[in-house]
Amino acid sequence: MHHCSQTIYGTTIVAIRDQKKVVMAGDGQVTQGSQVMKGNARKIRRIGGEKVLTGFAGATADAFALLERLEAKLNQHPDQLARACVEMAKDWRMDRYLRRLEAMMIVADVQKTFLMTGNGDVIEPDDQVIAIGSGGGFALAAARGMLAVSQEEKDVEFVAKRALEIAADLCIYTNHQIIVETLNI
């Protein structure tokens, strides 16, 4: 569930959900080609009255355009994240301007987590972990491995942060400027 086009999706975002909280973590690196343009970009945001976490990978300006659209949909459909995502996905598929935007987003509220792709897809993950970006595969594998070690309760904030650190060690498009946001359920 991640995209590997490193020129476009050079970042890592991971979201993990358990019975008590949903956590999203992302790094701060903005890369253009082989050059690091910025090291402390904030790719995790709270929208919808602080009740929705969003994390994006892709062209930063494009991601902000999508974020604004999603916020507008959430204003039209408050506390209905699934509906807002589906409505935005319809626009994404239909609108010529939006179709050219190169970004992916993970959005989550206390009930659901969704992956939104540039194809206008809205995908709900099968399990409690989802990751996107060039380091997404590393973060996903690390988080799943840590969560599988034992069935006892784990600190999902620690798992998300550690998964990002592992991805940053392996992916040159991901750095250690990690932001972690949590919604308590």
Active site residues: 11
3-state secondary structure of 176: coil
Q: Give residue 52's identity as a one-letter amino acid code.
A: V
Given a contact cutoff of 8 angstroms between Cβ atoms, the answer to whether 68 and 98 are in contact is no
Q: What angle do CA 137, 170, 159 make, to 5 degrees?
A: 60
Neighbours of 38 (CB within 10 A): 13
Kindly give the pairing relationship between strand 179-184 and strand 12-17. Answer: unpaired
Instruction: Mention every residue, 6+ apart, whose C-beta is less than 8 A from residue 180.
Output: 23, 24, 25, 44, 157, 160, 161
